[in-house]
Amino acid sequence: MRFVKGHGTENDFVILPDPDGVLDLTPYAVARLCDRRAGIGADGVLRVVRTKAAGPGVESDADAEWFMDYRNADGSLAEMCGNGLRVFARYLVDAGLAAPGEWDVATRAGLRRVTLGASGDVTVEMGPARLLGPGEASLAGTVFQGERVSVGNPHLACRVDAPVTALDLSRAPGFDPAVFPDGVNVEFFRFVGERHVEMRVYERGSGETRSCGTGTVAVAATAAAAAGTIGGAETSDWTVDVPGGRVSVALDGQAARLTGPAVLVAEGEAWPGWL
Ligand SMILES: N[C@@H](CCC[C@H](N)C(=O)O)C(=O)O
């Protein structure tokens, strides 16, 4: 099994080229690949498959040649992955499977437009960030109030006043499964300047990661609402600092564009029989 390793602001992925959809990618295989001691190590897997070969549940006539089949490190499926999509697009261009420019990628959350050159940052149209009202999560006995946000996948963006480095994210935040029946990605963010926030995230299915693209959009939308710059015609550009680097989020009403790096670091072959 051939693989490529890449990351977007240190949210890292094992990329599995599978253009014709022949791989039997079980949750067990994903978890083994993502294992940082016994496997290759990653926050998730990006299977690169032609939309028409992607199988049940994916519209084969979708107006996109490629489907991003994203899996969390524990093997679970997720609807969307913003950092993963930048890395996915960079892989397609570097591998000669797509030309630099603008085109759509199919995801479980629908089509997402990517824009990229032959090198450099990648921009992704993230679709709407829907603010769904208040919610809460607990961390080491402390309850944090936040905003529930859908960016295709579920988020809870909690504003804090202290530096986010002070938080203990070694354990999963607690939440009410009746409020989040499909689980939730929990972000903690703090304003550090005008339209500038820092955040940390505990991802559903992957644990604490060094960045989460959909999470940065959830945070920017929540921060913009707190600052009174969302919901109207007004646009706002946000800088989001994460442990793995920095991304920008441009908001226009509910629409969001995420821009940031996408880096491919290695390619290889899984040892025959290992999985
Ligand atoms: N890291 C991703 C989000 C991956 C999916 C998430 N863990 C979920 O289960 O919804 C990103 O960059 O958006």
For residue 72 and ligand 1, the question of a CB distance below 6 A is answered with yes
Q: Which residue has the least CA distance to atom 2 on ligand 1?
A: 81
142 domain residue, yes or no = yes
60 domain residue, yes or no = yes
- Residues 103 and 226 grouped into a single domain: no
Of 152, 167, 187, nearest to 78 by C-alpha is 152
Which domain, by its residues, includes 213? 128-259
Of 242, 241, 239, nearest to 250 by C-alpha is 239
CATH for 135: 3.10.310.10
The tens digit of pLDDT for each residue in 140-160 reads 999 999 999 999 999 999 999
Per-residue confidence (pLDDT) for residue 139, from 0 to 100? 96
Residue 13 CA to ligand 1 center (angstroms) comes to 11
249 domain residue, yes or no = yes
- Residues 148 and 197 grouped into a single domain: yes
Contacts of 48 (CB under 8 A, 6+ apart): 15, 16, 17, 18, 19, 66, 68, 69, 88, 91, 92, 97
- Residues 164 and 74 grouped into a single domain: no
ipTM of the complex: 0.99
274 domain residue, yes or no = no
Residue 69 CA to ligand 1 center (angstroms) comes to 12
- Residues 145 and 165 grouped into a single domain: yes
- Residues 135 and 107 grouped into a single domain: no
- Residues 61 and 90 grouped into a single domain: yes
Per-residue confidence (pLDDT) for residue 57, from 0 to 100? 75
275 domain residue, yes or no = no
Of 98, 80, 79, 82, nearest to 90 by C-alpha is 98
Task: Write the Ramachandran bin of 76: left for phi over 0, alpha for psi from -120 to 50, otherwise beta.
Answer: beta
Name the strand (E) or helix (H) holding 226.
helix 213-227
Per-residue confidence (pLDDT) for residue 231, from 0 to 100? 52
For residue 185 and ligand 1, the question of a CB distance below 6 A is answered with yes
Residue 50 CA to ligand 1 center (angstroms) comes to 21
Q: How far is residue 184's CA from residue 182's CA, in Å, rounded to a whole number?
A: 7
Question: Average pLDDT for consecutive 10-residue bins of the chain (275 residues)?
Answer: 98 98 97 98 98 83 90 98 98 98 97 98 97 97 97 98 97 98 98 97 98 98 87 78 98 94 98 89
- Residues 22 and 65 grouped into a single domain: yes
88 domain residue, yes or no = yes
- Residues 202 and 111 grouped into a single domain: no
- Residues 145 and 110 grouped into a single domain: no
Residue 34 annotated among the catalytic residues of the structure: no
- Residues 254 and 265 grouped into a single domain: no
Per-residue confidence (pLDDT) for residue 184, from 0 to 100? 98
